Structure 1
Amino acid sequence: MLKIAVVGASGRMGQSILRLAKSMGNVAVVGALVRPGSPAEDKEVPDWPHICYTSDRGAGLAEAEVVLDFAAASDEIGLVRHCVDYGLPLLVGTTGLEASTRQVLEQAAKKIPVLIAPNTSKGVNILLELVHRAAAALDEDYDIEILEAHHGRKNDAPSGTALRLGEEAAEARHKRLDAVSVHHRKGQTGPRRGGDIGFSVVRGGDIAGEHTVYLAGPGERLELTHRASSRDTFAHGALDAARWLAGRRAGLYEMRDVLGF
């Protein structure tokens, strides 16, 4: 029985993980952390009535064997330091991480296992591999555009998954994403610059997550798409990743490691 603590437990992903963990039988929730002042604080967790939502990091993580973090990126550094101090494996599903936070995670990975997964869906991580291969095989005559769509309450744009897809495409062509990414087009933009990777964003309704990578070349277009119909797919992936992470040696991991490719 793997004991997990969920950070950001009152959010959409946190709620999905708490609910699915109950049905799996081999995972026990021992902590459910929320931000200070959250309406959920001190209330019992549905499906886990012996657990209350708490903002007390020490109490919430005291019995955990693996920590799953889906909280706001601004809360990250203190959590990472706590996990390092207590030797807790950490899965980071938070998106919109600053470069400085990423550096803190990389340093932490020298002491504890850290898995950074902007998207825990197994299908999305297969998509990352396919995009890398396609971008490497098709030269810059094939323009790359990335379209992502999410629910209206999502805070960051483009999504962490969209950016990761862009990184895969750029790396496959031996480029840095920040040198070729285009996030804004309006007015007289002029012709498209060869090698650019464009991003478009849709926000609305309850869209769980959709990502399409277009490789548009002479006389043809390749479209690689993943659509999530339920947030449960991300929760399943996160719980599988947590089980994989338990007992690993210190290091920086990603979902590809979990999936074995």
Structure 2
Amino acid sequence: MTGGSRGIGRQAVSRLAQDGFAVVVVYAGRAADADAAVEEVTAKGGRAIAVQADVADEQAVAALFDRTEQEFGGVDVVVNAAGIMNNPTPLVELSLDELDRILRTNVRGTFAVSQQAARRVRRGGAIINFSSSVTRLRQPGYTPYGASKGAVDTMTLILARELRGRDITVNAVAPGPTATALFLDGKPQEVIDGLAKAAPLERLGEPDDIAEVVAFLAGPARWVNGQVLYANGGIA
């Protein structure tokens, strides 16, 4: 589970452990958060370890998969939740450095993890990438983030077809506005309130809501393949 130390990823770690999975919590720089996620799982009798890795570094990603195989004997499910978002900024004002920063994690990182996953996930397994409902909402200010998630969608759908005959499902989860630090940071309260009212269910998503979708794709959803699942309360 990349991006497993905070927010949606952290909740998905807990949910998958509850379903009996041994979990590798992959983090970039927040060791204390990753250790806390591991402690939460192990305190309930589950198995988990924390591993630091830059998801855009192919050697680090390969080493991550090596460690997973050594620790747990193989890889059955890969959840690629690592991602970063820009502060809302019109395209005309964005720097190319900011674009490169977001594409490196969200696109190159998804590619590097998906490549290793395609090589190593065992039959009957699942690869779950993270997209975003921004690709449908097309909110001004999110050009680099939305573009990166559009690339994730395309990678996911093509990889599902490239793994024909392997009995491995490949899907993406596309959350809408969800109450995590990634979403809430830097937004005025009136913007948050407006987005909460936009969905017919009239609230923001919670990490639990998205974790349930991840658990579905990781376990019982064997006939769901090559799809982008929009988990957004009906906002789009």
Same fold by TM-score, threshold 0.5 exceeded? no
More helix by share: 2
Pick the structure with greater CA Rg.
1
TM-score by length of 2: 0.43
